[in-house]
Each structure stands twice: as structure tokens, then as C-alpha cells.
Chain A
Amino acid sequence: MGNLGANARLKLGLWLLLMPLGLWLLLLIILPHFELLIFSITDPEDGAFTFEFYSEFFTEPLYWRTFLRTAVMSILATVLTLIIAFPVSFYIAKMLKGRSKGIVFAMCLIPFWVSELVRTFGWMILLRESGVISNFLQFSGLAAGPVELLYTDATIMLGLVYSSMLFMVVPLVSTLDSLDDSYIEAGYDLGGTNWNVIREIVIPHAVPGIVSGCIIVFMLSLGNYLTPVLLGGKDSLWFTEQIYTQFITRFNWEQGSAFGLMLLLLSSLIVWLGLKATGQSFTKTMG
């Protein structure tokens, strides 16, 4: 086994391993999105370059309003998820030790192994007019008649926060885990209040976890389809729904492609801004 032979074999191995990766990324990720771009700027009649599908997006208020609405509500859902998840993650990471920590953490994780469809179905049973909460309100005398809690923006928000909770809790717990208790104790020894310690010690340490949690939750909310459609009903006006309508119902693939790319542009932009603002790298945050 000469040195050259080993080297050549290593090269061969590299090429053999590069092949599946390359094919996967090229055929299933890069080219399909490139094709989407071509579709969105080509006139289906004569194949000439056109910008009409993008101008349609900007001139038709329904489209860009749905787009903005989706973006704003996704950002709001991300912030709410962070606020709700933070105390819980802190408790799991810092207050619990050993076995009880594992159990409580598992209690957070297990609901999310269940299909999103099932979880959304559960919320429908809870919130609809003949549902559990409506009946409870009537039973306890807080409401005179049936209360419809479905099909509002607040319901969509609830569903979004619920369905992405795990993706905030996990990164938060893992960064907070690495925060040494003695830093927190030092903060108190120096006369800090709870709020001082959280703001000056805990949050700065948790930034990487906050960023990766926020990115994933934002992406999941933006790309969510089930929650807005099932909990928001006909007027949910979610952008993924528009994409689906253009592709499947109207069979207007050019318009749908333009919408898809707008969504991709928006999500990349927000992810990039989030990473830039906090000085994090994409590979570190996602990997």
C-alpha cells in the first residue's frame, strides 16, 4: 500500500461521497428553486421575459396585504413564543437537576412528537362553539350562550405559538444549561435584583439559543398551512394558502412561483437580519 495508492483511494472516496450529496442538493433543492424563478419571470404564451406576475403581486391589494399580514403575525408569534418559553426553559435548565430534569424536559418534548394535525384537531375540539371551553364557560355561568372561539386572528396566533413551542424550548434549554450558576450568584452578591440578573447575565448568555429558536419558530410560522387554515377558517388569509390556491386550485403556476419566491425572499431576509443583528453565523445557529 504505497502512499500514492492511499492518496488516490482517499480521492476516490471523496468523489464517491460527494456524489449523493451533490445529486440531492442539485436535483432537489437548487434546480427546483431555479426553475421556480424561471417560471415566475417567463410569459407562458411566448416564453418571453415578463415581470407581470410580480407586478400583479404588488398591484393586487389582497396579495400583498396577505403577505404583510403573514409576515407580521409570524414575527408576533415568534416574540410570544419566546416570552412564554423562556421562564419554562430557565426552570428546566437551572432549577431542576438529574432525573426530574429529564422527566420535565421529556414532558415538554413528547407532545411535539404527535402530528401537527392531531394537535390542531385538539384545539378545534377545545375552541369550537360546541367545544370544551365554550361548554365550560356556559356551565360556570361566565357565558350565556355558546361561544365561538375559532376563526379569529387570536386563535391562529394561539395555534402558531403552540405548534412551535418545542423549537424555542430546546435551543433555550441547551444554551441556558451551559450558564454557570456562579455567574448568577455573583450577580446577586453584587446586589442585583432578579431583573438585573436576567437582563445583564442570563439573557446575554442565552443569545445564541434565542436566535436559533426565533429563526426556526419564525420559519415554521411563515410556512405553516394547517394552523391558519383549520383554526382561522375561510378568512385566515395566510400566504401559503395563496400559494396553494395558485398552484392547485387555479392552476396558475407562474403566479404561484412568483408568490413562492416572494415568501423565500422574505424568510431569507428576516433570517439574515436576525443573524446580522446578533452577530451569529448561519452554520452555528442551525447545525
Chain B
Amino acid sequence: MIPSITQSRRFTSIYNSYLVAFFIFLAAPLIVVAVFSFNDSMFPSFPWGGFTTDWFFSSEGEKTGIFFDSELLGSIGLSAGIAVVTTVLAISVACCNAFLFERFDFPGKAFLYILTLLPLVIPGVLLGVSILVFSSEIANYFEDTWLVELEFLRPGLTLVVIGQFAFITTICTLIIAARLKKFDRTLEEAALNLGASPLMAVFTITIPYLKPAIIGAAIVSFLMSFENFNTTFMLVGSDAPLTVAMFERLREGSTPVLNAISLLLMLGSGVLALINMAMQKKS
């Protein structure tokens, strides 16, 4: 079972075949999605109609490629916008949280830490509906009492950002706090001794040290937001972000243009994953 203990050949070969089967299982769905994006047919399934790149580059006709599908392109832009705003918000709050939990002691800290972790175990659908109910109640109150219509509290992009921010902040906090924990505080003290103010010390010494974790958290946050479905689906209004738009098309039964967009997503997230892993290694 470990290299220093020899096993029977039968055991080793069974173990190895199991591992191979496992990795085929992991890769199979991704491979077929990629392969069928080049299928010259109206459906992402057999029969194989020959190789084509129409689902990427065809500009008109029934086989409109992804680069000319204005509806899907628009939803990509929307998702990217949501992801950027969510990430900026989540990272800012997460940095504050990390300093709070690593540098301060105060009554109720353990309890607050549990609350901070809570979004990890709340199903995304539930997070979505609870925010939907709460924000609608506030909007109704303002409408009834003050005759003000607070449009941003109704289902729509702002609520989507709020809903995603609610749980992504927890993940960013954990990533940033883990690195802050390893920080050697004598470096900060040295800066203080050299005459820096505490805030200056934090911004010139500690924040640069945290940079790999902040970038890593930002990548994770961007992807989680971009790919989120459960929470987003409960909070969308009339504009559909990418995952919602893809889901609607998937239910209707779609053309291989969905494979094409999926392949692009895979490449995008693959690149981000590799960048993130390289960053982790360097730090």
C-alpha cells in the first residue's frame, strides 16, 4: 500500500486499473463536451456529421457560432461584470475579516467565527431565497410607507451580486486569513521601529506579503461567481447571466453552440486554475 511495502501483483494491477478508471470517469464528460463542439450537426450527439468550426466562427444561418451569438455573448459580459463587482466587494471585506480574526481578541470572537463559516453549510438555493424574501420585504416597506420604489432590491443584477457576495466572502476570508497567520510580525514591528505609522506598516509590509493569497482568492471568487447557478437562479430578473442563459437553452435542447461556449469556459477556467496553482506554489 505504500512504496516500502511490496504487494502482490494482482493487488497492484487491480489498484492501478481502479485509478485509471477513476480518471477516465473524471475526464469523460469534459472530453465529450469538447469533442462535440466540432460536430457538423444540429445536435450535440451522434450521428457524427463531420468536423466543423462553424459553432465557433459561423456568422449567420442556423449554425450561428458562439462569437456571433449576441445573446450568449451578452450574457458572458453580464456574468463577467457581476463576477468583477462581487470579487472586489468580497476581497475587501475578506481582508478586514482576516485582520480581525488574526490580530484581535475580543469577546464573542469564537461565535463570530462560527457565523463567518456558516455560509459554507447553507445550501445556495436557500441563501438565494432568504435574500430574496428579505430584500423584497424591505422594498415593500419603502413602497408602502414612503412611496419610494427601491428597484435594486427587486430580483435583478444587484441582488445577484449581493447573494453571491454573501457566501464568496467566507471563502476569501479563509484563504487570506490562512496566509496572514503565517506572517512574521517582527517585520511589521521593524517598520514601526523605523518610524512608520501602523497603517503605513500594514500597507507597505503586510499587504504586499498577502498579495499571492489575495490574487488567489480573487481568482477563486471570480470563478465561483461566474459559474454560480443556485443562488443566481433565485435572484435573477429579466437579464440572464451566462449560467442561467445556458440552463434555459439546455432545457430546450440545444445546438452544439453550447458545446462551443463550454469549451471556451473550460479553457478559461483551466488557465485560471493553473495560474492559481502556480501562485500557491511560489508562495
The reply to whether A24 and B100 form a contact with Cβ atoms under 8 Å apart is no
Looking at chain A, what size class is its interface with the partner chain?
Answer: 35 or more
Given contacts A113-B273, A286-B121, contact A132 B32 (CB under 8 A): yes
Q: Which residues of B are found within 8 Å of A123, using beta-carbon distances?
A: 29
Q: Which residues of A are found within 8 Å of B122, using beta-carbon distances?
A: 29, 264, 267
What distance in Å separates the Cβ of A207 from its nearest Cβ neighbour in chain B? 18
The reply to whether A240 and B33 form a contact with Cβ atoms under 8 Å apart is no
The reply to whether B114 and A35 form a contact with Cβ atoms under 8 Å apart is no
**CB-contact partner of B229 in A97, A102, A225, under 8 A:** A225
The reply to whether B246 and A117 form a contact with Cβ atoms under 8 Å apart is yes
The chain A residue with its CB closest to the CB of B227 is A115
A216 vs B32: C-alpha distance when bound (angstroms):
28
Interface size on B, residues (CB 8 A): 88
A162 at interface by CB-CB < 8 Å: yes
A126 at interface by CB-CB < 8 Å: yes
The reply to whether A107 and B18 form a contact with Cβ atoms under 8 Å apart is no
A-B contact pairs, 16 of them (CB 8 A): A9-B198, A13-B104, A21-B100, A25-B112, A29-B118, A32-B134, A87-B15, A106-B277, A110-B270, A115-B227, A117-B247, A121-B246, A122-B262, A125-B29, A197-B1, A223-B230
Give me the interface of B with A, judged by CB distance under 8 Å. Answer: 1-5, 7, 11, 15, 18-19, 22-23, 25-33, 36, 43-46, 92-93, 96-97, 99-100, 104, 106, 110, 112-127, 129-135, 137, 162, 165-166, 169, 174, 198, 223, 226-227, 229-230, 233-234, 243, 246-247, 250-251, 258-259, 262, 265-266, 269-270, 272-273, 277, 281
The 5 closest A-B pairs by CB, nearest first: A122-B29, A223-B123, A32-B130, A32-B134, A115-B227
Contacts A111-B27, A114-B30 aside, 4 further interface pairs with beta carbons under 8 A come to A87-B19, A111-B30, A122-B32, A286-B121
